[in-house]
Amino acid sequence: MFSIFQKAALLSIAFLMAAGVSFAADSIVIKGSTTVLPVAQGTLEAFMKANPGVQMSLSGGGSGEGIKALIDKTTDIATSSREIKDKEIELAKSKGVTPVAHVVAYDAIIPVVHPKNKVKNLSIDQLSQIYQGKITNWKEVGGDDLKIVVISRDSSSGTFESWDHFVMKKAKVTPKAQMLASNGALVTAVSKNKYAIAYLGIGYVNKSVKPLQVNGITASLQTAMSKAYPFSRELYMYTDGEPHGSIAKYIAFVKSAEGQKIVAREGFVPLMDAKKVSGRGKK
Distance (Å, rounded) from C-alpha 194 to C-alpha 204? 19
- Per-residue confidence band for 273, with pLDDT thresholds at 50, 70 and 90: low
What are the C-alpha distances in Å from 217 to residues 1, 35, 45, 109, 257? 79, 22, 35, 12, 29
pLDDT in tens, 194-228: 999 999 999 999 999 999 999 999 999 889 988 99
85/102 same-domain check: yes
90/47 same-domain check: yes
111/216 same-domain check: yes
172/242 same-domain check: no
pLDDT in tens, 70-95: 999 999 999 999 999 999 999 999 99
Final residue in a domain of this structure, among 209, 226, 243:
226
What pTM did the predictor assign?
A: 0.81
- pLDDT for the residue 6: 43
- pLDDT for the residue 283: 29
**CA neighbor of 151 nearest in space, from 123, 207, 193, 117:** 193
How many structural domains is the chain composed of? 2
132/208 same-domain check: yes
CATH code for position 82 = 3.40.190.10
pLDDT in tens, 115-173: 999 999 999 999 999 999 999 999 999 999 999 999 999 988 999 999 999 999 999 99
Task: Tell me the DSSP string of 219-248.
Answer: --HHHHHHT-STTEEEEEEEEESS--HHHH
- Structural domain span for residue 13: 4-106+234-281
pLDDT in tens, 15-24: 333 343 333 4
66/164 same-domain check: no
- Per-residue confidence band for 10, with pLDDT thresholds at 50, 70 and 90: very low
Final residue in a domain of this structure, among 202, 226, 250:
226
100/111 same-domain check: no
- Per-residue confidence band for 261, with pLDDT thresholds at 50, 70 and 90: very high
Final residue in a domain of this structure, among 226, 246, 264:
226
- Are the beta carbons of 176 and 157 closer than 8 angstroms? no
26/94 same-domain check: yes
- pLDDT for the residue 14: 39
pLDDT in tens, 27-59: 999 999 999 999 999 999 999 999 999 999 999
